[in-house]
Amino acid sequence: MTRKKAVVDAAIAGADLDKGLLLLLTGNGKGKSSSAFGMVARTLGYGLKAGVVQFIKSRRDTGEEKFFGQQPGVQWQVLGDGFTWDTQNREADIATAQRAWAVAQGFLRDASLHLVVLDELTYLLKYGYLDAQQVCADLAARPPMQHVAITGRAAPECLLEMADTVSEIQDVKHAFRSGVRAQPGIDL
Ligand code: ATP
Ligand code: MG
């Protein structure tokens, strides 16, 4: 244990860089968005500011929005309203995605935001509604100390390569498959 502690302590002492991180939370298990919102809470704990764009969810009654939407340090934008997944109007979906990305671009130019959360962004890249090269270029051009957390399944390769921290959350079990509906405070 003493030897192990010395190795860990040396690794911690050696990690002396500060930089704005790109975090990618992906995979099929539960815990991607809620992890990102946990980092928003930590950010607010230090009196710092955060911006959140929810690209998919059009519902406005989630616990996260009820809470964080009231916090003065948070800019909370739910921009998934125009999607027509069912009616398959691709032009309209691309327009919705681009409107949402324009809001994200504003956050990615705002150095007063310590953390930007791009919740469920990966789906818009997967369906080709946003150009991955453009998205990666905008991420690369952000203020150097700004952290960005991106969530969603099926992250494209360029995001995986660019990210500093990648977690792939595995689906081992989910209560939904036992017939349990989404629970307030846990799932929404
Ligand atoms: P959360 O917001 O709870 O962290 P998530 O962001 O990892 O979840 P999403 O794909 O965005 O996952 O799905 C959000 C909703 O779907 C939540 O209600 C979550 O509990 C549920 N969910 C997540 N993963 C699964 C799964 N593997 N099977 C069924 N439902 C799931
Ligand atoms: Mg999610």
**Residue found under tokens 């928003």:** 40
Q: What is the CA radius of gyration of the chain?
A: 18
Q: Please write the tens of the pLDDT for every residue from 13-40.
A: 888 899 999 999 999 999 999 999 999 9
User: Domains plus CATH for the chain?
Assistant: 19-170 (3.40.50.300)
The 3-class secondary structure across the chain, one letter per residue, is CHHHHHHHHHHHHHCCCCCCCEEEEECCCCCHHHHHHHHHHHHHHCCCEEEEEECCCCCCCCHHHHHHCCCCCEEEEECCCCCCCCCCCHHHHHHHHHHHHHHHHHHHCCCCEEEEEEECHHHHHHCCCCCHHHHHHHHHCCCCCCEEEEECCCCCHHHHHHCCEEEECCCCCCHHHHCCCCCCCCCC
Q: Please write the tens of the pLDDT for every residue from 65-95.
A: 999 999 999 999 999 887 877 778 899 999 9
| Residue 102 contacts residue 43 (beta carbons within 8 Å) | no
What residues have their beta carbon closer than 5 A to ion ligand 2? 32-33
This prediction has a pTM of 0.94
d(CA 153, ligand 1 centre) in Å = 10
Q: What is the mean pLDDT of residues 152-171?
A: 95
d(CA 171, ligand 1 centre) in Å = 10
Determine the residue of 26, 30, 188 to mutate for testing ligand 1's pocket, defined as the one with the most ligand atoms within 8 A of the Cβ atom: 30
- Give the pLDDT confidence score for residue 83 in this predicted structure: 84
